[in-house]
């Protein structure tokens, strides 16, 4: 049996509450201030792979003056779970051959699943975590039209802004960043009244809205 | 093969069409009706935990599983087709309710002249029409269909404002539409900020804006079957989702509760129909794989094929009912006149937040000043137009992130991108168009020679591409988009301007794929008669968007429902009393 792998990170690095300074800078207050580490069990990546993906996602959606980035949202945890689930192994894509190249209008016609594309793509990022940010950007820029990078970019956005049941958007940090209130059941009283002003509320997750635990497709045993 | 006892009616497909027919037949006769649905049962309570953008919008959780079955596509008969491996330019559903669960609810009627389009175009353009046009009359007039439109609108509870009530034009409605016998059953939706900006811009330009008609209820409503549904809450989890409060008309909330009361109705889920069994011009029943994978024969006196458009053609082709269409000779009817819809959109960047996460699938303002036969004079060569509208359908934070005016950043990742994306987040609207798609000799359906489904049956093959005409339609309409965007004080950016160069499988356009089993007044040029009854096999009915000889400009569901209700009358009031051809 494969040894269980973990991603280890400082307790205060995930999630938190977003505040804005008078100058308009977004500042994150960590949810936990004590020292120590959290160990996230990995479903798909090895610990080394997870660190590479985490570093690459951080360059795609960095922590900066405009607010928190992919690391604080836990994007790598999101991607790990997606790749371990039915999406990562192509349970919902037509994967019968023959596989032939076609025109761009027909989209991806390859045989490789997202999981396989990641495994191969990560190999091209050897030593990535040891490089300074500028060199990391250069490495990513050189591969930015590849299928691997396009997936990584798309999955980073997904991990930032999907419901936390999928592993990312820790403490709804992504929704705080864009002012999304979460899947509220009704805007009947607001929809025709808020004209040209942002309607902002402290965001809530789907589990909070429905009042019970919820899980994503990736957590279901049998695809249906 | 497991042999079952005969039933009176067997229906392949438990979506809007199949369940509407089942409801009409079981409510009005004592005939036994069995509906076979390949997907799973669904109920409203399933949908509350479905307010999840990732699984439903990004991963298409309600759609047909393409791993099991898809379609193939090629641009012309000279090319070879490849499978549509992932979604996708259209989104077929699966499960009870079919695509009728995840639709938007937009409920247009088609224009009166659209039903006699071949005659209309000949009268207008004489002999100057392209020889490749396969446009045909439907064999049913708008006037004959109008009572059924009205019944369909009541069934699903459409809200809107009439623009033509018994010939009287009414400002504030779509003044270009055909005459209605009644005002809409419900008033229009509430209007969002961005829709009000669009409405004012359209009015200032001299156009005729109207609220888009929709089956996402604008208030609590009881339909003629006694089904009470609550008004829409504008939660925004609408298109690609099932409605968790039942405000959006779906087969599971308007048809299943009625069907549950009728003992002569039964629904079998997990059942994939594989063949219509027929001999000597008579359908004997269908064969299917049941939920346990057992090959089963269900004999029936009447067989109704009511699956999604492409699947209707496929089932008939696999069953060898009728003569497949040959584009080289023009002979044969099955598979001809495949159409989609001419979709174009323009992004409008505005300077104020829109709260675009609030909305409903059918909430919008439209204009039809360049739709149908209107407004085409300045665009020579354009035969038919399309609607132009701005919808507040409810934007999720994933799909709407990163829309930035062109040229603002070099990259679509990194710090600069993040800054620009946050700057423009929730300040983007989309002006969109759905224009009529003409039928052409070269666009058709047949069985793919290479690729098969998970049972080993050939996939359906689409041969489809755009022509100069669609590009001219798109150019005409996107010019108006830009004009409207400017009047809204927005920055316009065409978001899919290259889409009409070649048919593009990777970009969602609409699920309005039609044709293949088309209706008409002559068996030489259509598969089913104007009652949706097969010309050669009178106890076989094939209903759905597959019957459209060419596509109209509005969303097709209401027209599909009207044709279905008319077919139900044909079966119940005429065929059952005296079996035989109705036309």
- Taking CB atoms and an 8 Å cut-off, how many pairs form between chains A and B? 177
User: Could you give the residue ranges of the DSSP H alpha helices within B94-208?
Assistant: 117-125, 142-156, 193-204
* Residues of chain B positioned with their CB less than 8 A from the CB of A165: 52
Q: Which residue of B has its CA nearest to A180?
A: B397
CA torsion sign, B430 to B436 to B441 to B443? positive
* CB-CB under 8 Å, A105 with B397: no
Model pLDDT, residue A222: 61
* CB-CB under 8 Å, B233 with A186: yes
Per the structure block, which two tokens stand in for B349?
Answer: 């960047």
* Any B CB within 8 A of A163 CB: yes
Residue A3, pLDDT > 60, answer yes
Q: What is the pLDDT of residues A72-116, one digit of tens each?
A: 999 999 999 999 999 999 999 999 999 999 999 999 999 999 999
Name the residue among B48, B84, B192 with its Cβ closest to that of A192.
Answer: B192
Counting beta carbons within 10 angstroms of the beta carbon of residue B411, is it exposed (0 to 12), middle (13 to 18) or buried (19 or more)?
A: middle
* Any B CB within 8 A of A222 CB: no
Q: How far is CA B537 from the centre of its chain?
A: 26
* Residues of chain A positioned with their CB less than 8 A from the CB of B352: 196-197
Q: What is the pLDDT of residues B90-121, one digit of tens each?
A: 999 999 999 999 999 999 999 999 999 999 99
Section B207-221 average pLDDT: 98
Q: What is the pLDDT of residues B447-475, one digit of tens each?
A: 999 999 999 999 999 999 999 999 999 99
Model pLDDT, residue A224: 44
Q: Which residue of B has its CA nearest to A192?
A: B192
User: Could you give the residue ranges of the DSSP H alpha helices within B210-307?
Assistant: 256-259
Model pLDDT, residue A34: 75
Return the exposure string of B45-69: e unless at least 16 CB atoms fall within 10 Å of the residue's CB, then b: eebbbbbbbbbbbbbbbbbbbbbeb
In the DSSP assignment, the letter for residue B267 is E
Q: How confident is the model at residue A31 (pLDDT cuts 50, 70, 90)?
A: confident
Percent of all residues in chain B with a pLDDT value above 70, rounded to a whole number: 100
Q: How confident is the model at residue B304 (pLDDT cuts 50, 70, 90)?
A: very high
Q: Which residues pair with B6 in a beta bridge?
A: none
Residue A221, pLDDT > 80, answer no
Model pLDDT, residue A24: 75
Q: Which residue of B has its CA nearest to A197?
A: B353
- End-to-end Cα spacing for chain A: 28
Residue A223, pLDDT > 70, answer no
As for the ipTM of the complex, it is 0.95
Q: Which residue has the tokens 């058709």?
A: B444
* CB-CB under 8 Å, A92 with B60: yes
* CB-CB under 8 Å, A109 with B235: no
* CB-CB under 8 Å, B413 with A140: yes
* CB-CB under 8 Å, A105 with B505: yes
Q: How confident is the model at residue B126 (pLDDT cuts 50, 70, 90)?
A: confident
* CB-CB under 8 Å, B244 with A96: no
Name the residue among A95, A108, A195 with its Cβ closest to that of B193.
Answer: A195
Closest to B514 in 3D by CA, of B315, B336, B280: B336
* Any A CB within 8 A of B51 CB: yes
Residue B221, pLDDT > 70, answer yes
Residue A39 to chain B, least CA–CA distance (Å)? 25
* Any B CB within 8 A of A206 CB: yes
Q: Which residue of A has its CA nearest to B454?
A: A96
At A223, is the secondary structure helix, strand, or coil? coil
For residues B296 and B290, is the Cβ–Cβ distance under 8 A? yes
């Amino acid at each position: 049996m494969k040894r269980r792998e973990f991603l280890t990170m400082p307790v205060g690095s995930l999630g938190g509450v977003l505040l804005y300074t008078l100058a308009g800078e977004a500042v994150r207050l960590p949810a936990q201030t004590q020292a120590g580490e959290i160990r996230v069990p990995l479903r798909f990546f090895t610990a080394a792979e997870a660190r590479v993906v985490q570093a690459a996602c951080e360059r795609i959606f960095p922590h900066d003056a405009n607010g928190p980035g992919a690391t604080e949202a836990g994007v790598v945890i999101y991607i790990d779970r997606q790749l371990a689930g039915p999406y990562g192994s192509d349970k919902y894509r037509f994967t019968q051959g023959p596989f032939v190249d076609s025109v761009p209008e027909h989209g991806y016609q390859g045989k490789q699943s997202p999981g396989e594309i990641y495994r191969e793509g990560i190999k091209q990022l050897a030593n990535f975590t040891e490089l300074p940010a500028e060199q990391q950007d250069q490495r990513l820029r050189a591969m930015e039209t590849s299928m691997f990078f396009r997936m990584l970019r798309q999955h980073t956005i997904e991990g930032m802004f999907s419901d936390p049941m999928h592993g990312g958007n820790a403490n709804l940090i992504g929704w705080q960043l864009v002012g999304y209130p979460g899947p509220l059941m009704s805007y009947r009283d607001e929809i025709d009244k808020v004209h040209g002003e942002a309607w902002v509320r402290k965001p809530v997750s789907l589990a909070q809205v429905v009042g019970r635990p919820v899980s994503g497709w990736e957590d279901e045993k049998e695809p249906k | 093969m497991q042999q079952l006892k005969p039933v009176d009616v067997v229906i392949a497909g438990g979506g809007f069409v199949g369940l509407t027919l089942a409801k009409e037949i079981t409510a009005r006769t004592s005939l036994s009706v069995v509906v076979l649905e390949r997907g799973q049962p669904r109920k409203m309570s399933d949908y509350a935990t479905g307010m999840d953008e990732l699984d439903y919008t990004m991963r298409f959780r309600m759609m047909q599983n393409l791993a099991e079955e898809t379609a193939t596509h090629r641009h012309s008969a000279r090319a070879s087709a490849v499978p549509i491996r992932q979604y996708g330019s259209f989104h077929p559903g699966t499960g009870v309710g079919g695509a009728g669960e995840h639709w938007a609810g937009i409920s247009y009627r088609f224009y009166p002249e659209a039903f006699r389009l071949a005659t209309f175009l000949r009268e207008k353009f004489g002999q100057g029409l392209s020889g490749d046009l396969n446009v045909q009359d439907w064999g049913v007039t708008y006037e004959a269909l109008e009572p059924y439109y009205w019944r369909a609108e009541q069934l699903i509870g459409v809200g809107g404002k009439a623009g033509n009530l018994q010939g009287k034009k009414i400002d504030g409605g779509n003044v270009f539409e055909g005459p209605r016998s009644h005002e809409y059953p419900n008033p229009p939706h509430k209007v969002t900020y961005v829709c009000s900006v669009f409405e004012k811009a359209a009015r200032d330009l001299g156009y005729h804006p109207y609220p888009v008609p929709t089956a996402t209820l604008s208030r609590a409503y009881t339909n003629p079957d006694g089904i009470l549904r609550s008004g829409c809450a504008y939660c925004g989890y609408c298109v690609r989702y099932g409605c968790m409060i039942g405000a959006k008309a779906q087969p599971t909330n308007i048809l299943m509760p009625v069907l549950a009361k009728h003992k002569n109705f039964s629904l079998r889920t997990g059942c994939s129909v594989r063949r219509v069994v027929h001999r000597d011009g008579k359908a004997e029943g269908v064969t299917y794989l049941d939920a346990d994978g057992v090959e089963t024969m269900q004999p029936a006196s009447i067989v109704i094929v009511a699956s999604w458009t492409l699947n209707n053609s496929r089932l008939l082709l696999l069953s060898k009912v009728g003569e497949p269409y040959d584009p080289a000779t023009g002979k044969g009817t099955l598979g001809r006149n495949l159409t989609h819809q001419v979709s174009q959109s323009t992004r409008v960047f505005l300077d104020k937040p829109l709260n675009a996460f609030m909305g409903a699938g059918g909430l919008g303002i439209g204009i039809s000043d360049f739709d149908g036969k209107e407004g085409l004079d300045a665009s020579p060569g354009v035969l038919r137009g399309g609607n132009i509208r701005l919808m507040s359908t409810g934007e999720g934070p994933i799909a709407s992130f990163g829309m930035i005016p062109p040229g603002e950043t070099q990259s679509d990742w990194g710090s600069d991108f993040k800054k620009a994306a946050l700057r423009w987040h929730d300040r983007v609207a989309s002006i969109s168009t759905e224009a009529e798609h003409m039928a052409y000799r070269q666009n058709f359906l047949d069985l793919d020679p290479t690729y098969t489904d998970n049972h080993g049956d050939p996939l359906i093959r689409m041969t489809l591409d755009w022509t100069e005409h669609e590009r001219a339609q798109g150019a005409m309409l996107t010019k108006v988009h830009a004009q409207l965007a400017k009047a809204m004080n927005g920055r316009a950016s065409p978001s899919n301007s290259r889409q009409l160069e070649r048919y593009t499988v990777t970009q969602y356009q609409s699920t309005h794929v039609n044709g293949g089993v088309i209706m008409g007044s002559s068996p030489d040029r259509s598969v089913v008669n104007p009652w949706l009854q097969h010309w050669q096999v009178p106890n076989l009915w094939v209903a759905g968007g597959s019957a459209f000889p060419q596509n109209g400009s509005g969303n097709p569901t209401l027209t599909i429902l009207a044709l279905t209700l008319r077919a139900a009358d044909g079966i119940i009031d005429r065929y059952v009393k005296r079996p035989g051809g109705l036309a």
